[in-house]
Amino acid sequence: MIHLFFERLLKTFSGYFRKSELTVQGGYAEIWRIAWPLVILSASNTIMMLTNRVFLAWNSPEEIAAAMPAGQMFFTLMAFFLITTGFTATIVAQFHGANDRVGCVRAAWNGFYFGAMVAALLMFALPAGGSWIIMHNGHSAGIAQYEREYFVAMAPCAGFTCMETAFLSFFTGRGKTMLVAAVKVAGCLVCVPLNYILIFGKLGLPPLGILGGGLANSFANLFTMLTAITLFLCVKQSEYPTREHRRFHWEFVKKLVFFGAPAGLQTFIRNAAFAIVVMMIGNLGDEALAATSIALTINMLGNMPMIGLLDATSVITGQYIGRRKLNVANRIAGRSLRLLFAWMLTASLFYIFAPELLIRLFSSHNASSTGMNFEQVTANVISILHWAVIFNLLDGTRFITMGSLRGAGDTRIPLLIGMATSWLIQIPGTILLVYVIHATVSEVWMLITFYIFIDAALMLWRRGTGAWRRIKVIELPAAGGDGDEKSEAAVC
């Protein structure tokens, strides 16, 4: 029996990587062609964040402790608007699959109008709301002041990013991801030296510390927004008339709100819950907070391809749905997930066998002048990274599955799943561990791992129901069938 089990397991596993899986429609080659520039994009974002945090850690351990909760809360408060605007890519992908070029242009312009309205709102609401939350989060006065400086300095990024996202979605949704990656890499090349100059006070400027780190991000986002607008307006007009069809259309904004808003709300709710968890971890001590900040920054390397593969999965799924090839769309998530697992398992080797090598990047030059015990920080980081070996695989599963559902416009049930797991498992469990049991930071991360497991399992269940096949985002051409894909085994 055991022999037959392993024989069947090996046969199934080898089937995932047979030659036809590489070249077939929606196969590894096509996924990677769309995904690798998005992975480069994610890498550039990771490098920007990593260098920002490393420079802050060199400057002061209190600043690196403040950067994580402030950064997490910043993304949380803008996430709803960013992800809602980002659903433009799915609409463009389905129009592209249906060969409707004017629809692609109109979707991008109306995504921009939505993003501009969001930018006007966030310009005033974000600094005021974020500052109030930070000053009442229970962290020490010094940490809270650093958090406020960082948050307010980064606030302009929200509006810039939402407006930029609509125009970049025009390229992402059509599979032109290399151009999108080039824009973000250029932004990285602007951001990294600006971080160094503004944090440490170079070229005759005063050292601004964590304030300079936030300002560097804002300037870099302004640069990428202007670049995205320029590229959009300069495409070949005979193919995609981007300087025309600029009218505001309510039907496009309605699609963003109807399909994109649940995805945005889902991301907001999840990140709000996690931001609250990070703040509660701060009540376990500055060492626990600094360790969480460092571990999550290191783990950006471990899950670096995840967002790129999520976006690629969403785009390719949307394109094949636009072509009415649902069987092809069904297989994309499994292939994307196997590509992601290969990276994550490699990164896990460093987490298990050489975590100190990664932690050493964050050893502060000024640690001896502060009251923080960096040896305790190091021990906590190692413990969190060991948990990351497990929760990264679970997180990858839920994100790729979520990308597949998002590409089909299935965003409402995932929203309910995210609400239930975040606010019925993660938040109450953390309150119990931090304020009642007074647990260690490692035990809090054990709970987080359990929460991600439940969330991933429910996402897989939702995808398995096949309800996404019946959702209509745009008016589609008559079904053309899946042709040569019909005979292929349903590998997912």
Q: Which residues, 6 or more positions from 450, have their beta carbon under 8 angstroms from its beta carbon?
A: 425, 429
DSSP secondary structure string for all residues of 2-30: HHHHHHHHHHHHHHHTSHHHHHSTTSHHH
Q: Which residues, 6 or more positions from 247, have their beta carbon under 8 angstroms from its beta carbon?
A: 106, 109
For 307-360, what is each residue's pLDDT tens digit? Answer: 888 888 988 898 888 888 888 888 898 888 988 998 899 889 989 998 888 888
- Look at 131-140, 197-206, 363-372, 463-472 and tell me which has the smallest mean pLDDT: 363-372
| Spacing of C-alpha 111 from chain mean position | 19
Q: Report the alpha-carbon distance of residue 108 to residue 170 in Å, rounded.
A: 6
**pLDDT over threshold 60, residue 365:** no
**pLDDT over threshold 90, residue 428:** yes
What own/partner pairs with CB < 8 Å and gap ≥ 24 does 465-471 have? 467/410, 467/413, 468/404, 468/405, 468/408, 468/409, 468/410, 469/326, 469/408, 471/408, 471/409, 471/410
Mean predicted confidence (pLDDT) in 384-404: 92
pLDDT of residue 447: 95
Closest CA to 115 of 91, 90, 84: 84
> Which one has a higher pLDDT value, 369 or 315?
315
Q: Report the alpha-carbon distance of residue 189 to residue 377 in Å, rounded.
A: 31
| Spacing of C-alpha 184 from chain mean position | 14
Provide the total of helices (H) and of strands (E) in the chain, helices listed first: 20, 0
Closest CA to 85 of 257, 211, 323, 336: 257
Closest CA to 402 of 272, 273, 277, 270: 270
Q: Report the alpha-carbon distance of residue 89 to residue 94 in Å, rounded.
A: 9
Closest CA to 342 of 296, 298, 400: 400
pLDDT of residue 2: 58
pLDDT of residue 434: 92
For 233-275, what is each residue's pLDDT tens digit? Answer: 999 988 999 998 888 888 888 888 888 889 888 888 888 888 8
Do 294 and 362 form a contact (C-beta atoms < 8 A)?
yes
> Which one has a higher pLDDT value, 232 or 305?
232
Query: What does pTM read for this prediction?
Result: 0.76
**pLDDT over threshold 60, residue 379:** yes
**Mean residue pLDDT across the chain:** 84
Q: Helix axis angle, 286-302 relative to 61-86, nearest 10°?
A: 50
Place of tokens 């032109």: 176
Most distant pair of Cα atoms in the chain: their distance: 74
Q: Report the alpha-carbon distance of residue 155 to residue 128 in Å, rounded.
A: 10
Mean predicted confidence (pLDDT) in 5-22: 58
Task: Please give the C-alpha separations between residue 196 and each of 55, 56, 342, 432, in angstroms, as whole numbers.
Answer: 7, 9, 34, 41
Closest CA to 229 of 157, 163, 179: 163
For 166-203, give one letter per residue: b (16+ CB within 10 A) or e.
bbbbbbbbbbbbebbbbbbbebbebbbebbbbbbeeee
Do 302 and 388 form a contact (C-beta atoms < 8 A)?
yes
Residue 476's CB is within 10 A of a number of other CB atoms, namely: 16
Q: How many Cα atoms are found within 13 Å in the side-chain-facing hemisphere of 425? A: 18
**pLDDT over threshold 80, residue 87:** yes
Q: Report the alpha-carbon distance of residue 319 to residue 321 in Å, rounded.
A: 5
Task: Please give the C-alpha separations between residue 42 and each of 20, 76, 209, 242, 309, in angstroms, as whole numbers.
Answer: 29, 18, 25, 27, 10
pLDDT of residue 483: 44
> Which one has a higher pLDDT value, 72 or 338?
338
Task: Please give the C-alpha separations between residue 35 and each of 175, 180, 287, 465, in angstroms, as whole numbers.
Answer: 9, 11, 37, 26
Q: Report the alpha-carbon distance of residue 214 to residue 126 in Å, rounded.
A: 14
pLDDT of residue 8: 60
pLDDT of residue 144: 81
